[in-house]
Amino acid sequence: MTEPLSGPSNVRPDPAKLTRAERVVGKLVRGGAKVPGLRRLLLWPVIARPGYWFATGAAWLWGRILFGRFSKGQGIHYFSKLPKWAYGRGGTTIGAIYLTTDNVGDAVLEHEAIHKAQWKHYGLVFILLYVAAGSPALTNRFEVEAGLEKGGYVRPRRPRPSGGGFGV
């Protein structure tokens, strides 16, 4: 598993593809980054960890209210059998809980376990940072860090056949 802060810094969302909310939150995050010591304070585990716990509790409660099936695999707890309107994309990790209908393959769960580590590192600030990173997964630094292939956003690369030519 990669470190939560090791995401590629050269991944930038295309401003033309961002929603108004994503642009506003991005401005807020960039403005907050200029405040001396704010990042250090918000990422201090004493501040970030309770946010992670709160988010985990809220996601667990959401999964229980909707009668999801609770399981664990690949380092993450998850609720499956949820209605599709209960989460975004193919599934959503909130805190330490992954919510989905049936998207529970090993690769996807590994991808979601990285999001769990991101939540643990950033706490509730992760919501703002994720929105500011933009909804297109290919340019969202958190999706890139978690692995686009494992998350099902891109097809796995096939190795090129080793050989020196055209069927020779």
> What pLDDT is recorded for position 157?
77
DSSP 37: T
C-alpha span between 102 and 90 (Å, rounded): 8
Q: Which helix (H) or strand (E) holds 69?
A: strand 69-73
Is 93 in a helix, a strand, or coil?
strand
pLDDT value at 2 more than 50: no
H or E element, residue 119:
helix 106-122
For residue 159, the model assigns a pLDDT of 76
- In this prediction, residues 37-52 reach a mean pLDDT of 95
Is the model more confident about 88 or about 158?
Answer: 88
Q: Are 140 and 27 in contact (CB under 8 A)?
A: no
Greater confidence (71 vs 166) lies with 71
> What average pLDDT does range 75-100 have in this prediction?
97
Residue 7 scores a pLDDT above 60:
no
